Structure formats: C-alpha cells, structure tokens
Structure 1
C-alpha cells in the first residue's frame, strides 16, 4: 500500500493499519525550505511548486496541501490584503467590503478560475498532481463559510448573529456557494481531498453553529461524499465545547490544534464515524523545540489516543515559517518508526537534567587529530542515522589516518546526558572537536573529508 493509499483508506474509515498517516500542513513554511518568502510563493506558481516539492522531499508526507491561504477567496471577492514586509506569514484581510452596510454579493461575484490569484494556485495544483500523485494525496484547502463571511462583513458579523439572523443566514448561504464552487475548481485541477479551514468555529457558541452553519456544512460535505471525495474540517483554538456539533456536520476528518485534548476529541469523533487529525504544538514544539521534543510529541499523541485507528498525525495548523526542517523530519520518523523511536525516547524528559550521570567530555585541544562524534537516535534502526554513520565509516575507510570517530546512540542515559551537556539539539548530527558541523544533514564523503582537513589537529 502506498503512502497516499494509506491516507485515503483512513479517510474512508478503514482501520487496522500499521501506522497513522502523516500530513504536514506546510503553507508559507514551504518557502523557507528553498529560500523563498511567503510573498514570493503566493505570487509565483513555479516557486510555489519548487517549495512544495521541498516539503515532499524532506517530510515524505502521505498528504500535503498545495496552499494554506485563507485570504485567497476574500481577495477575489474584493477584500484588500495586507502583505507583511517580513515575508514570513500569509497576507491578512485589511478591508471588509460590507463592513458599513449589509449587502449580499451578487452570485456573479463567485470566483472563477481567472480571478485573483486563482490562476497561480490552479497551475501549481496541476503541476503537483503531475509530480507526486502516485505517492502523495493533495489537499485543496478552502476558507470556510464563517471565516469568509467575517472577511466580507468584519466584526459586525458577530453582532448580526444576535441582531439580524436573517442577514447572517443569507451571507453564510452565499459563502457556502463560494466554497462549493472553489471545491469544484480544485477537484477539476487534480486535488484528492477537500478541506474547509474555518478557525472562527471555535469562537462562537454551539448554538450559533447549529443555527447558522450546521446545515450549510452538512450540504458541503454530503456533496463531496456523493462525488466520492474525502473531506476535512479544520478548526483552530479551543473547540472542545463545539466538538459534538462539528462532528454532526459529517466531515470525514476533523483537524484540531493543541488547545484540544486528542483523547477526548477522538471519543467524540468516533461517535459520528469521523477521523481525528492533529495536533503537534506549533510554537513550543515545532518552532522552538528540539527534534526529540517533536518525536515525543508524536509518540504522546499516539499513546493518548491508545493507537492509530481513526487518527491522522499533523501539526495543529499551518506550520510557522521558521520551523527547523529537522523538526518536521523528526515528526515523520516518529510516525513511521513508532516503536523504535518510542524505545529511544524512553529516558527522554525535557524536565530531566541527568545530573546524576557522570559525563566526561574530551579534551579537544589536546587531540593529535580531529575526533568525530556522531549523535544518532540509533543507527541500527533509524534510516537517517544509518546513512550518517555509513558516510562516516566510508570516509574513515578512505582516510583512516585523518580522524577518529565514535557514535553515541540516544537509547541510553549516558548518551542522553552527553547530548544535554553538549547542547545537542537535533538527531542525527555530527560534531567535530566538540563543535556541531552537520545537523540533520548528511554531507558527502568528499565534503566531510574536506572539512576534516581544514579543521586538522595538532
């Protein structure tokens, strides 16, 4: 079974697979992998495809979104956007066309393929379908009806829910039509899965969801079911109180962020035959954590859910731009090699210092030739670690008089303590004379030997 087939089977509510699917939601983060900022990849189809292929190469996803931009539809409907000069975030909506007067847009305004930035997105979708369709499922992500309505109406929408329910119903109905139309565009351009991203669903009551959005979403998801297309609903924030009504919309999958307890959410999802996706912490873990933190986050989610049935492992939402590539790779390793990673992390605790384990560092200044210290998860079981060690061994075979080497595997307390003492952040990595030279990157033998020669010894 291919990686794509695994994800599609889980979304079809099949069970009993050896692992959970892995879906990294890399929106603008994709650009960081090849030197492009958010503004570049969201305005240039070729750069967007290059960035998406970097995601595919580094993170080996079972599924991935082509774009994660909740302003795309709003822009085509007349909202002006603000583009951050730093280039590390998607644009934000700056103006709301119906902020000062209650209007329902003409159906003639529903975006078409030539409107706004849709030509860029659709071109990227077609190219990605051509490049990865055999092994990776592609998500077409669409701004959900509530968030889209708020883009058009602004903050007044939430007052309207109390003061003018009829207007809200009409505006949501229009936004539902936009969602359905964009979904059709995406399906015609090669998308395998349709996801509606509606962050604001956690910000209103269950009663308001039931009144204004339950039927609209039920129709959207039912239409996709009749087309035999898997569907997902993405909600950010603490949606705990709304889980029941969200599941009653009958998406194939509900994705939540770190504010929601996965165990509790899965119990609700299973009542309605809905798969649960989530919820690796975006900032504490993915952005600021170590590779071990990210591996442990995945292990903790799987253990919390007591297995991988009805589960998709993913970040809680769109990955921050500056997430270290090593952290995404670490999540992939934990998903695909759960038992070995779990064993390797059995002594890992961010709160522990391992002060009781005596570690003596080498006296690097006294060495006659460089010492290479290779820190691995376990080169016997971890593929990346295996390739790293094989490279070092091949280099040693070529020039055994140029350096000495030793491997520390992250499966015993002494190695963990050494990692802490030497500030090792990512595995695998290669230190030379006590300094980290390569982290989660395997150099060529020639590059390795050239660096060793430059460092030299006494």
Structure 2
C-alpha cells in the first residue's frame, strides 16, 4: 500500500523510494473550484476536495485540513477570512491581561468547526484510509499561545517566564486534546505545526518548549500514533533542540538547508520532511522545475528517513501540473532524473525591472517587510502585526510597506536587495530582523534610532 512507504520512513526503515506528502490545504479547494472560505467551512466541499487531491496527486500521505486557526477560533480569537488562504487571527483574548484560561475551555469536540472537521476525517478515513496515511494537523503550543496573547508573548519570555510556562502548559493540554480527538477520528499521524518556533532562540526553546513537546510526543508514542513537528521560517538554529523532544518526524520549509539539517536529524534517527519552495518553484515554476526540486532533495538526502513535501501549506493557486510532476519524480526517480538532466530551473524574471527606493529623500523611516505572505504565513503575519501594534503610539513617525513573495516583482526585489530569509524586516534599506519577530520596545527603539541618525 502507498501509505506503507510513508510508515516505513516514520519507522526509520529502509525504503523502496521516498514517500510523497503534498501539504494541500486550501489548494485542495482550488482543484474543485472552491474558495478557501468554502473549503474550510463546508464539510461536503472539504471532503470532495480531499478526495480530488488523493486522485490527482497520488500521495502517500495527506492532511485533511491545514488551518492553524481552528483552535484559536474556539478559544475566542476573531479571524479574518479571505478567499485564497487560511484565515488569520485578528484579535488576541489575552492581549490586555496576562492570565491563564480555565481548563474548562479546552475543546471537547463540539466547539467551533470541530464537528465538521471530525466528521470529514472519519469519512476520509473510510474512503481513502486503506491506501493513504492521513494527517491530523494541530496548531503547535507556542503559536497557539501567541494567538491568544499576541506579540507581547515575546516580551513575556524575558519579563514573566512563569506566566509563559503556565500559558504553554495550557496550550499543551489543548494540543493533547486535539490530538486525541483526531486520533479517534482515524488520523494516522499527528503533526504539531508551530511556525513561530523559528522566532525564538534554542535557549528559549529548551526553557519553554522542550517539556510540553516531549510530553506530547511521548503521549502519541504511547497511543502508537506517529508524530511530526512542523516548523516554518529559518529554524536552523533550533533543529537540534527540536530533535531532543523525540518526534518521529521534523518537517521544515525552504529557509533551511535540508542536507545540513538531515545530518542532525539522522544523528537522532528522526525522519526529515520538506522542503520544496512554495512560491519560486510550486507557484511560479515549471513542471520540470518541480520535478527537479524533488530529485535534488532525494539526491542530497537519500531515501531513508526522508519525506518529500512542500515546505509548508501549498499556495492556493499552485498549478495542478506541478504537484503531479513531483509525484512522478518520487515514483519514477531515475526516469525523471534523466528527463530533467541539464534543465535550467531558475525562475524567469526577464522584463521585471525593480527600482530601489532612495531612502535619503524620505521624510520618515520606511519599514519594509519581506514576507512569504502575511495572510497565510503565521510568522509573517506576526511580524506585520508587530509593526501595526506600534502605530497607535508612534504611527506618525514611520511608514511601512509589505512585499509578498507570492508576487514575481517582489521576488525580483528580494533578489536585488539580497533578502536571505522570510520574513525579514528592513528599515531604510538596512536589515534589522531576519526570521525573528522584534518585540514592541525593540522596534520602537530601532525607529527612533534611525530618526535620530537622520536628525528627523
């Protein structure tokens, strides 16, 4: 069975080929002509879309839903909905008061969209579960705590460590309950998706996140269910401390060198997953470029302890032929390798002329945010929110603009300026934070320093 190839990878056994897992969230709706809102709120449309992904992309494993706001919505966060990406958290219930929610608020399965999601999971299990491994994706404890508290959690980590630990313990309980509900609904693999892990140091990870994650993975192991830790952004510095929490799999995005990361995960006998580029390759690239991306990953990493997948949730508008090409590459490796031999996979940006800003002529400091897309990338959204959060206090002292990597012109701009990681925050053309969210005081001080240097 196809799913057995994935299970072998997660059991760290020798394999006949690399398994293929398309993280198709809202993109699954695109295959059937449904918007992100429709596919995340309508069970019939979600199921129809999942089955279409299974038919067209021939996955060894696939998620039922990819939405990191399910838990947040249940716990009181207001969401902003758009048609081509998952919703984003709009309000944070704990932003005004550092408190711990009561355990009585932990989901039981009847709240929010959970009844719809659990129903679809059971139906998907009955229809494709014999051949395809199904993922239940849960918002990880740190990102969930950030949804509840807002960007102040980064300052709390320095000023109120006990509060952060208590909030993360509450988040762990929510994660554990969500995992139990998804296992009961038939999910084979529980993945904790925690994009904001890339925004903290290894020391903070060990202090605040080692214990909750170790306990979560031990709980899943006792239930004989596979586990995954999915992080976005440049989490290179945290790969080893993540390994020490003992998951079966760590999945990474394009910000991380997968060959170097696998040297660490292999040391701990953990399967690595990733990390095909979402925009340059999957959204804007050709079939050949996608095929070669998968081949390059396999060539770099070998087959054992590897899962080939996108770096994160696939963009909504990903052309259908690109995931098909990846599926072809993993299933017919040698033949596909010969097909793209010598093929130039670089993105064609011919004719796109980017004019850089003359910062000396600006009346105010300009914050430039280079993001994957703040509407779909949690770390990008929180970096944007860090800027928005200081507008009431000093909004007249600076301007800001976001350049989303989903737009070809912005890709050209990133290359011209030399942006290495997303998200990144520049002020007047100088890099201040790369794949790291500044706290309120740091950002305000940086803006004032730029103003003072220019005598504004």
Mark yes or no: TM-score above 0.5: yes
Query: Which of 43, 58, 73 pairs up with 2:56?
Result: 58
Aligned counterpart, 2:27: 29
Matched residues in 2 for 1:230 and 1:203: separation? 26
Distance 1:258 1:347 in 2: 22
Task: Work out which of the residue numbers 158, 174, 180 in structure 1 matches 2:176.
Answer: 180
Q: Give the match for residue 341 of structure 1.
A: 336
Q: In structure 1, the residue corresponding to 2:101 is in which secondary structure?
A: coil
> 2:411 corresponds to which residue?
none
CA deviations 1:310-362 (Å, max 9, x no partner) are 10000000000000000010000001000000011113123699xxxxxxxxx
Supply the distance in 1 between the matched residues of 2:181 and 2:85 (Cα, whole angstroms).
25
Q: Deviations over 1:195-237 (max 9, x none)?
A: 0000000110000000000011000001111111100000000
- Per-residue CA deviation, residues 3-24 of structure 1 (Å, 9 max, x unaligned), is 1111112111112x22100000
Is 1:250 the counterpart of 2:246? The answer is yes
Query: Quick check: 1:327 aligned with 2:322?
Result: yes
Pick one of 37, 40, 43 that aligns with 1:42.
40
Match of 2:362 in 1: none
181, 185, 188: which one aligns with 1:192: 188
Gaps of 5+ in 2: 349-456
From 275, 296, 319, give the equivalent of 2:271: 275
Structure 1 gaps of 5+ residues are 354-458
Question: What's the counterpart of residue 311 of structure 2?
Answer: 316
Q: Partners of 1:9 and 1:351 in 2: how far apart?
A: 33
TM-score, normalised with respect to structure 2: 0.75
Does the residue aligned with 2:91 lie in a helix, a strand or coil? coil
Aligned Cα root-mean-square deviation (Å): 1.1
SS at match of 1:103: coil
User: CA separation in 2, counterparts of 1:264 and 1:102?
Assistant: 39
d(CA) in 1 for partners of 2:288, 2:167:
46
Measure the CA separation in 2 of the matches of 1:218 and 1:295.
Answer: 36
Secondary structure of the 2:341 match is coil
Structure 1 counterpart of 2:2 = 3
CA distance in structure 2 between the partners assigned to 1:27 and 1:14 by the alignment:
28
What whole-Å deviation, never above 9, does each CA across 1:125-148 have from its counterpart, x for those lacking one? 011001001100000000000000
Residue 231 of structure 2 corresponds to which residue in structure 1? 235
Deviations 1:411-456, CA, capped at 9 Å, x for gaps: xxxxxxxxxxxxxxxxxxxxxxxxxxxxxxxxxxxxxxxxxxxxxx
C-alpha separation in 2, matches of 1:282 and 1:162 = 34
Match of 1:285 among 252, 276, 281: 281
CA distance in 2, matches of 1:99, 1:351: 44
Cα distance change on mapping 1:107 and 1:351 into 2, 3 Å: closer
**Correspondence for 1:167 among 143, 163, 169:** 163
SS in 1 for 2:47: helix
Aligned partners of 1:81 and 1:169: how far apart in 2?
Answer: 25
SS at match of 1:319: coil
Could you tell me which residue of structure 2 aligns to residue 122 of structure 1? 118
Q: Which residue of 1 aligns with 2:134?
A: 138
Is the 2:284–2:347 Cα contact (8 Å) retained in structure 1?
no
Q: Which has the larger radius of gyration?
A: 1
Residue aligned with 2:240, SS: helix
Instruction: Provide the TM-score with structure 1 as the length reference.
Output: 0.75
Distance 2:292 2:5 in 1: 23
- The structure 1 segments of at least 4 consecutive aligned residues displaced by more than 4 Å after TM superposition are none
The 5 Å alignment of 1:335-414 reads 335-350=330-345
Secondary structure at the aligned position of 1:46 is classed as: helix
Report the 3-state secondary structure (helix = DSSP H, G, I; strand = E; otherwise coil) of the residue aligned with 2:307: strand
Change (3 A) 1:351 1:200: closer
Q: Would you say how many aligned residue pairs link Structure 1 and Structure 2?
A: 348
Match of 2:147 among 128, 147, 151: 151
SS of equivalent to 2:41: coil
The 1:12/1:220 distance shift into structure 2, 3 A limit, reads same
Do residues 303 (structure 1) and 302 (structure 2) align?
no
